[in-house]
A and B are shown apart, each in its own frame.
Chain A
Amino acid sequence: MSETEKIIDNIKNKFTQDILNTEVKSKRRATITIPGSALIKMADFLYSDMNFRFITASALESGKGFEIYYHFSNDKTGLVFNIHVVLPKNKPEIESLTCLFEAASWIEREMHEILGINFLNHPNLEKLISEGNWAEGVYPYRKEQQ
């Protein structure tokens, strides 16, 4: 049993009821889909107990709604572990991860600007790149803008 499988099993045992879908693509790539409400405890477990490093988060709009992939890296095995969350289109809201690590601060501000996703309990949800570039309330990465 490889290291990656062990890690996935470990996560599965701990969060049995929260996991909606698991996809292990290769030895070093895995994605897990969870509801937004379980994000904080899952990220906390990965960051504090498993010593994963937060890489970044990618948000996109699709038919399902707003999807966010939180990318974590395990530097010992080279595993890129994605937490996949789907948010409803009419009310895109999720807890901020800044309570766990500073690294999430900028990327959440950016996602807030480009797609209009609201991050709850973010200490400073100011504009990062849009000031002077595009107006408030315009979300250039949404599909309706294209």
Chain B
Amino acid sequence: MSKPTIIPIGPYHPLQAEPELFKLYCDGEIVKDVKWETGYNHRGIEKLSESKTFDQVFFLVERICGICSTSHPFAFANCMEEIVNVEIPDRAKYIRSIIGELERIHSHLLWAGLAGHFLGYNTVFMWVWKYREPVLDLFEIITGNRNSYAMFKIGGVRRDIPNNLVPTIQKNLDALKHKLDLLIGVVMDDPVIHARTKGVGVLTKQDIINFAAVGPTARASGVAIDVRQDDPYAAYPLVNWKVITAEEGDVFAKVAVRLLEMYESVSIIEQCLEGLKKEKEGDIEVKVKNVPEGMGTGRAEAPRGEVFHFVTTDGGYSPVRHKVRAPSYTNISTFKKSCVGQTISDATISLAAVDPCYCCTERMAMVYDYYNKKPILSGKDMIKLSQQKTEELKKKL
């Protein structure tokens, strides 16, 4: 065998916003091995946490990841409540779950957009991110910020969702459901996405168990683990929902699991809003005076999988040791398995000649008849047109 060519992706690569370095060892076009180098994003959070008080740690763990910025406080709150041994009021449980599920929707939409971007399919990216904006607006209405919410504290939540906000949230959710239908129609039926994602990056059940992968990555390979169901917390045992799984384990299965999960999230939020109406307004926290000595483990299901926090305390004001395990920590190592043996373009799910049939509808633009100043094609018509084109393509393939 000839000497392998090393193709670096990163640390500052147009493909990704975050700094990390993947080295693909290639023979021809086939990836033979993957090594990864990290440390570009190390901030010493576990160490910093030891110098903060318990209330401050919430703001710190929120900034571990901007996309899962509720999951880490969620897990930390579960962990601290285990040490303090306190049961939070039902209203606080509902509010926690609402925030958690809204975050799941926003994160899955973000991922779907980026996946489209990586496939070279920027229309999906633009569309999906446009639909994501109303979710961020909801966050702004409820918590006051688009991304870092600062809603959690030991024993409850910091802000209430007043009952008169419920219709607004419901209205936005209804609009979102309609958009999800559209999006799923677009993604699930698109022959290009099928061609690019089916049978690519397959992870078997055994791989998942070996790498201890979690979240949608595991669920797409038929391993039905979900902390919300296995180790129920917050309002999840109070509402009806089901765990979405797929068997194939390829990229397409992961797309499908994530998209279908968003429907479940919408349903959970709706049930939580119903529950919220029954509880008394303002009953959102239990006062916790001091934290006893002990150790606790807390888990929460982030959009990417299980977040795990481990804290030991000595009866003082700050943690003695705070260990955080984010879901990507185990999921990224599966990269080693999923992209070995694939071509370079599939390995990065990035560059490929893509049929640009959706580019015409990129911004839902209106094509105007210049002389009559009347729209001859509205956004809806254009969607229809592009759907027709997809159908034609399907027949051809």
Using known A-B contacts A128-B39, A129-B38, determine if residue A55 contacts B325 with beta carbons closer than 8 Å: yes
Q: Which of B310-355 contact A (CB under 8 A)?
A: 310, 312, 320-321, 323, 325, 329-330, 333
**Any B CB within 8 A of the CB of A22:** no
Q: Which of A11-19, A38-46, A68-76, A86-94 contacts B (4 or more CB under 8 A)?
A: A68-76
CB-nearest residue of chain A to B299: A80
Contact A80 B230 (CB under 8 A): no
Using known A-B contacts A58-B321, A131-B39, determine if residue A53 contacts B297 with beta carbons closer than 8 Å: no
0 or 1 for each of A68-110: is its CB under 8 Å from B? (1 = yes):
0101010111101010000000000000000001110111000
**Any B CB within 8 A of the CB of A28:** yes
**Any B CB within 8 A of the CB of A2:** no
Please, how many angstroms separate the alpha-carbon atoms of A127 and B37 in the complex?
Answer: 9
Partner of B212, one of A28, A101, A129, A140: A101
**Any A CB within 8 A of the CB of B42:** yes
0 or 1 for each of B106-123: is its CB under 8 Å from A? (1 = yes):
000000000000000000
Using known A-B contacts A60-B312, A103-B333, determine if residue A80 contacts B38 with beta carbons closer than 8 Å: no
Contact A71 B297 (CB under 8 A): yes
CB-nearest residue of chain A to B39: A129
Contact B306 A55 (CB under 8 A): yes
CB-nearest residue of chain A to B337: A102
Using known A-B contacts A106-B329, A133-B39, determine if residue A141 contacts B46 with beta carbons closer than 8 Å: yes
Contact A58 B310 (CB under 8 A): yes
Residues from chain B with Cβ under 8 Å of A80 in the complex: 231, 297, 299
**Any A CB within 8 A of the CB of B280:** no
Number of inter-chain CB pairs below 8 Å: 83
Contact A71 B37 (CB under 8 A): no
Please, how many angstroms separate the alpha-carbon atoms of A53 and B330 in the complex?
Answer: 12
Contact B39 A71 (CB under 8 A): no
Please, how many angstroms separate the alpha-carbon atoms of A140 and B211 in the complex?
Answer: 28
Residues from chain B with Cβ under 8 Å of A78 in the complex: 230-232
**Any A CB within 8 A of the CB of B210:** yes
Contact A140 B47 (CB under 8 A): yes
Chain B nearest Cβ from A73, distance in angstroms: 8
**Any A CB within 8 A of the CB of B82:** yes
Q: Which of B219-237 contact A (CB under 8 A)?
A: 225, 230-232
Residues from chain A with Cβ under 8 Å of B59 in the complex: none
Contact A60 B321 (CB under 8 A): yes
Q: Which of A33-73 contact B (CB under 8 A)?
A: 53-56, 58, 60, 62, 69, 71, 73
Chain A nearest Cβ from B225, distance in angstroms: 5
Using known A-B contacts A56-B325, A60-B320, A105-B333, determine if residue A132 contacts B212 with beta carbons closer than 8 Å: no
Chain B nearest Cβ from A116, distance in angstroms: 15
0 or 1 for each of A103-133: is its CB under 8 Å from B? (1 = yes):
1011100000000000000000001111111
Residues from chain A with Cβ under 8 Å of B321 in the complex: 58, 60
Please, how many angstroms separate the alpha-carbon atoms of A21 and B217 in the complex?
Answer: 36
0 or 1 for each of B289-321: is its CB under 8 Å from A? (1 = yes):
000000111010000001010101000000011
Residues from chain B with Cβ under 8 Å of A56 in the complex: 308, 310, 323, 325, 329-330
Residues from chain B with Cβ under 8 Å of A31 in the complex: 295
CB-nearest residue of chain B to A103: B212
Residues from chain B with Cβ under 8 Å of A140 in the complex: 44, 47
Residues from chain A with Cβ under 8 Å of B231 in the complex: 28, 73, 78, 80
**Any A CB within 8 A of the CB of B239:** no
Contact A102 B211 (CB under 8 A): yes
Residues from chain A with Cβ under 8 Å of B209 in the complex: 53, 101
Chain A nearest Cβ from B83, distance in angstroms: 10
Chain A nearest Cβ from B298, distance in angstroms: 9
Partner of A106, one of B37, B299, B310, B333: B333
Contact A131 B299 (CB under 8 A): no
Chain A nearest Cβ from B243, distance in angstroms: 11
Chain B nearest Cβ from A139, distance in angstroms: 11
CB-nearest residue of chain A to B326: A56
Contact B308 A55 (CB under 8 A): yes
Residues from chain A with Cβ under 8 Å of B210 in the complex: 101-103
CB-nearest residue of chain B to A84: B295
Residues from chain A with Cβ under 8 Å of B212 in the complex: 53-55, 101-103
Residues from chain A with Cβ under 8 Å of B39 in the complex: 127-133
Please, how many angstroms separate the alpha-carbon atoms of A102 and B320 in the complex?
Answer: 29
Interface on B for A, CB 8 Å cutoff? 37-39, 42, 44, 46-47, 82, 209-212, 225, 230-232, 295-297, 299, 306, 308, 310, 312, 320-321, 323, 325, 329-330, 333
In addition to A56-B308, A58-B310, 5 A-B residue pairs with Cβ atoms within 8 Å of each other are: A56-B323, A80-B231, A107-B329, A127-B39, A140-B47
21 sample A-B contacts, Cβ–Cβ < 8 Å, listed by A number: A53-B209, A55-B325, A56-B308, A56-B325, A56-B330, A58-B310, A58-B321, A60-B323, A73-B306, A75-B225, A77-B230, A78-B231, A78-B232, A80-B297, A80-B299, A82-B297, A103-B211, A107-B325, A129-B42, A131-B37, A133-B39
